[in-house]
Structure 1
Amino acid sequence: MKLPTSAGSWKKQKFQKNIYFCFIHYAKAFGYVDHNKLWKILKEMKIPDHLTCLLRNLYADQEEAVITGHGTTDWFQIGKGVRQGCISSPCLFSFYAEYIMRNAGLEEAEAGIKISRGSINNVRYADDTTLMAESEEELKSLLMKVKVESEKVGLKLNIEKTKIMACGPITSWQRDGQTVELVSDFIFLGSKATAGHD
């Protein structure tokens, strides 16, 4: 696998083990955050009540209308979605994602890339999520747990945009009747990761 160095150039990093990555893509992630579930998640994560109250007021009585070729629809209330472009939206989604990972048991999972003091099995930034494991079976298990917990809070994985990258042998993956694409490189948070098969 190739990783960027701090200077921005590429350096070959050799691992003595196989590493498997799943780059998860949620379908309309920010648009499907359920407000009522979000407030419960914030309470469960011990976010101070006064901050949750401020956020609830920001999202209270939200209404939308749709402009069509025949005019504008009546206004209707919405109870899902975080505001596009709002600086709080990535943070709110991160709480949602943290809740998913905790309920999927990823904090306690033995699966992941072993490091000196434990293991790492996921890296997240807002709605960008990468799962990591040292075996294909571990990665499949992590993905299924995350998929199940995501669906419980109303998020669906977009299998067409979800990618697998393997630094080791791998078989074809099927999820929901679709093949998960196997890639040799992937841009994650602006940096290119490559499988580096030499």
Structure 2
Amino acid sequence: METSSTLRRASEDSQIIQNSYDGIHCKIVHGGQLTNSFDVKTGVRQDCLLSLYLFLLLIDWIMEMSTSEGKHGIQWTSEMQLDDLDFADDLALRSHTQQQMQEKTTSVAAASATVGLNMHKGKSKILRYNTACTNPITIDGEDLEDLKTSTYLGSVIDEQGGSDAHVKARIGKARTAYLQLRNIWNSKQLSINTTVRILSTNVKTVLLYGAET
């Protein structure tokens, strides 16, 4: 009885959400001009807190459907595999072999298509680590680009693994920030205390960006 009641409430909630999306029209500003109204047939409503939650639910469902039939992730613990890392609408799929990655990519693309989402082939990249296999990963017969290095949210990832590339990049950016303030360091008008504070806020923060995580 309790299960039946829960399912009924879930159906009612789903209908309420669906009704709130039916018949949505939108206008956008382009080139300083407001466009004519047009129907919104895909996606979620902008500036709606519920939209974020709905999208995360959808992505979670896609990954559950894509990974439920086999173990194609990397071994994370003795009893658990890690299939993907998610941030907002970005997915980083993880697999041990090229074949596993191809199967997972195909499954994610197929599951996404069933709910009206498409994987962007131009934005989907492959980064290989510690593997000799160079067979391409494809979506709908189109090869995805292989990268030697990639930067995501300020963090540098490369095919060598580890943090050497990221540390080198941060040092380079901090050096650039330091040299841009050469006049500050040579100034006779500023106290040492003020100079140190500027160094901490304008250079040190660049060097340590992302180090907390």
Structure 2 contact 98–135 (Cα < 8 Å) conserved: no
Task: Say whether 1:170 aligns with 2:133.
Answer: yes
- Amino acid paired to 2:132: P
Q: Give the Cα–Cα distance (whole angstroms) in 2 for the partners of residues 132 and 117 of structure 1.
A: 16
SS at match of 1:84: coil
Task: Say whether 1:86 aligns with 2:48.
Answer: yes
How far residue 165 of structure 1 moved from its aligned partner, in angstroms, is 0.6
Q: RMSD value over aligned CA atoms?
A: 3.3
Q: Give the Cα–Cα distance (whole angstroms) in 1 for the partners of residues 70 and 15 of structure 2.
A: 34
Structure 2 contact 106–139 (Cα < 8 Å) conserved: no
Task: Say whether 1:143 aligns with 2:105.
Answer: yes
Structure 1 contact 159–175 (Cα < 8 Å) conserved: yes
- Amino acid paired to 1:183: L
Aligned match for 2:79, one of 117, 134, 153? 117
How far residue 61 of structure 1 moved from its aligned partner, in angstroms, is 3.4
Larger CA deviation: 106-115 vs 187-196: 187-196
Structure 2 contact 73–82 (Cα < 8 Å) conserved: yes
Larger CA deviation: 46-55 vs 90-99: 46-55
Larger-Rg structure: 2
The gaps in structure 2 that reach 5 residues or longer are: 1-5, 163-213
Change over 3 Å in CA distance of 1:159–1:72 after alignment to 2? closer
How far residue 158 of structure 1 moved from its aligned partner, in angstroms, is 1.3
How far residue 164 of structure 1 moved from its aligned partner, in angstroms, is 0.5
The gaps in structure 1 that reach 5 residues or longer are: 1-42
So what's the TM-score if we normalise by structure 2? 0.58
Structure 1 contact 90–127 (Cα < 8 Å) conserved: no
Partner of 1:33: none
Structure 2 contact 27–34 (Cα < 8 Å) conserved: no
Q: Give the Cα–Cα distance (whole angstroms) in 2 for the partners of residues 197 and 91 of structure 1.
A: 33
Structure with greater strand percent: 1
Larger CA deviation: 46-55 vs 79-88: 46-55
Q: Give the Cα–Cα distance (whole angstroms) in 1 for the partners of residues 122 and 23 of structure 2.
A: 35
Count residues in correspondence. Answer: 153
Q: Give the Cα–Cα distance (whole angstroms) in 2 for the partners of residues 191 and 54 of structure 1.
A: 41
Q: Give the Cα–Cα distance (whole angstroms) in 2 for the partners of residues 123 and 148 of structure 1.
A: 19
SS at match of 1:88: helix
- Amino acid paired to 1:118: M
Aligned match for 1:181, one of 145, 153, 177? 145
Structure 1 contact 123–130 (Cα < 8 Å) conserved: yes
Q: Deviations over 1:159-197 (max 9, x none)?
A: 111000111123242433433111122234553322217
